[in-house]
Amino acid sequence: MTASPARRRQLLAAALLCGVAFTGLTLSGCGKKDGGDASTAASAASASASTASSGGARVYVVGTDAQYAPFESQNEKGEIVGFDIDVVKAVAAKAGIEVKFVNTPWEGIFNALNQGDRDLLVSAITITDQRKQSMDFSSPYFDAVQLMAVKADAKVSKFDDLKPLKVGVQTGTTGDEVVGKLQGKTSANLRRFESTPLALKELEAGGLDAVVADNGVVINYVANNSGAKFKTVGDPSFSPEQYGIAVKKGNAELLAKINKGLADIRADGTYDSIYKKYFGAAPGAAPAASAASK
């Protein structure tokens, strides 16, 4: 049967729409929301990109939650930038591999790795015994500790002072863990947020009494938001932490490449240069370390 001219126009329009949709899926790099499914739609597109680059070599897809300045964030052009990003780029150059960074919501970032949608993760991820059961970590690349942010006039001098207060944390982080131990995981005063900057904004607005998060992020926010009139408070009960680059459990080949790259950038001074760029001093004397005792 021959279609009428009007029907042919409808069919052509539908075909064009399908073509646009297909192109969008092919070029898409990341999803905006983790609907509990570890950004599956974005993962499918980025996974296909991991198989080859323009030169035919494999491109490893790096998941990162780009809401955690100065470690990872997006600039005005939408590019993912930060300390973690520069470190992995330098490691990749030494290891002779290509990498592609994909913004991945924290809530789904570990599932994306375990499902094979990301080849490695760098997102200020604290190495813990629990996490080591489901993924492998590189050698540590950053030393951190928890830090409290409160209003400048707050009568908070130690961690126990937060027990009756409204405290903000980022969901699933070590800050969430330590405050959960202090107040109880289901405490009404424990307020969980998608990102630490969102929690700090709520503190600034008066909806919280304190925020507990990694020192590097807290210090960066306080330094760049002087109008918020925050102060930082450390506590000796906070255990030292170390960040690692995560790979899928059992991926020994990729892990060896990452560790070699890390060793190389430490040996030739590249790591120190990157550290100074973001924290103003060599690792042993960086503000991120000294501010934790304020």
Task: Give the pLDDT confidence of 38-78 residue by residue, as tens digits.
Answer: 343 444 444 444 544 445 689 999 999 999 999 999 999 99
Which of 47-51, 56-60, 127-131, 184-188 shows the lowest mean pLDDT across its residues? 47-51
Residue 290 has pLDDT above 60, yes or no: no
Residue 267 has pLDDT above 90, yes or no: yes
- Rounded distance between C-alpha atoms, residue 99 and residue 63, angstroms: 10
Residue 17 has pLDDT above 80, yes or no: no
- Rounded distance between C-alpha atoms, residue 223 and residue 221, angstroms: 5
Q: What is the per-residue pLDDT for 283?
A: 84
Residue 1 has pLDDT above 60, yes or no: no
For residues 26 and 52, the answer to whether their CB atoms sit within 8 Å is no
Q: What is the CB neighbour count within 10 angstroms for residue 266?
A: 14
Residues 6+ apart with CB under 8 A from 214: 124, 126, 144, 145, 146, 147, 173, 174, 175, 196, 241
Residues of the chain with CATH 3.40.190.10: 30-143+242-293, 146-233
Nearest-CA neighbor of 87 among 31, 125, 49?
A: 125
Q: What's the fold here for domain 30-143+242-293? A: D-Maltodextrin-Binding Protein; domain 2 (3.40.190)
Percent of the chain with pLDDT over 90: 75
- Rounded distance between C-alpha atoms, residue 34 and residue 198, angstroms: 17
Residue 149 has pLDDT above 70, yes or no: yes
Instruction: Measure the CA angle with vertex 160, ends 159 and 164; round to 5°.
Output: 115
Task: Give the pLDDT confidence of 208-224 residue by residue, as tens digits.
Answer: 999 999 999 999 999 89
Average pLDDT over residues 143-163: 97
Residue 241 has pLDDT above 60, yes or no: yes
Q: Between 3.40.190.10, 1.10.760.10, 3.30.1310.10, 3.30.420.40, what CATH number should domain 146-233 receive? A: 3.40.190.10
Residue 294 has pLDDT above 60, yes or no: no
Q: What is the per-residue pLDDT for 286?
A: 36
Which of 27-31, 141-145, 220-224 shows the lowest mean pLDDT across its residues? 27-31
